[in-house]
Amino acid sequence: MKSAEHAAVGAVVGAVAVALFLPSESLSTQAALWAGGVFFSVFIDLDHFVIARAMRGDWSNLRRAVTNPRVGLVDQEQVFADVDEPRLRQYRLLSHLLLGGVLVALASRLTVGLGVFVAVLLYAHVVADLVRDAELA
């Protein structure tokens, strides 16, 4: 799924999650959490570059995305065109769950509501990836 699509999912899910799980927070705190949730929904995908680095042995995929803004922002399917796609999909979902689990645990140590908020965003991100992988959207 492209970054803009993950941002849209994160914006909607984050707004609902803030309202449901962090209702006693001030409006400014809720807005900051929502913005952080959108950021998290997009930037959790940075793990893809680490996985591609492990698979290929170099940072060429990251260089491609950074040095060519069109590829990095618009034609994102080209970023990992030279990587074994089925393996990358498997590893990226595993990585999301491992990294996300740690982030949920850390957030839960601050407040349970924050942990649930992060967990809901992670769940929505992974489901969105699976829906795209299954070509349902």
- Taking only the tens place, the pLDDT of each residue in 77-119 is 889 988 888 888 889 999 999 999 999 999 999 999 999 999 9
Given this model, what pLDDT does residue 81 score? Answer: 87
The total number of residues written for the chain in this structure: 137
| Residue whose entry in the numeric block shows the structure tokens 């950021």 | 39
For residue 137, pLDDT over 80 is answered with no
| Residue whose entry in the numeric block shows the structure tokens 């349970």 | 112
User: Distance of alpha carbon 70 from its chain centroid, rounded?
Assistant: 20
**Domain extent for 114:** 3-133
Given this model, what pLDDT does residue 89 score? Answer: 86
pTM value surpassing 0.85: yes
For residue 46, pLDDT over 80 is answered with yes
For residue 70, pLDDT over 90 is answered with no
Structural domains counted in the chain: 1
Task: Give the CA distances from residue 99 to residues 28, 48, 51, 91, 105, in Å, rounded to whole numbers and listed in that order.
Answer: 27, 12, 13, 12, 10
The tokens for 100 are 């996300």
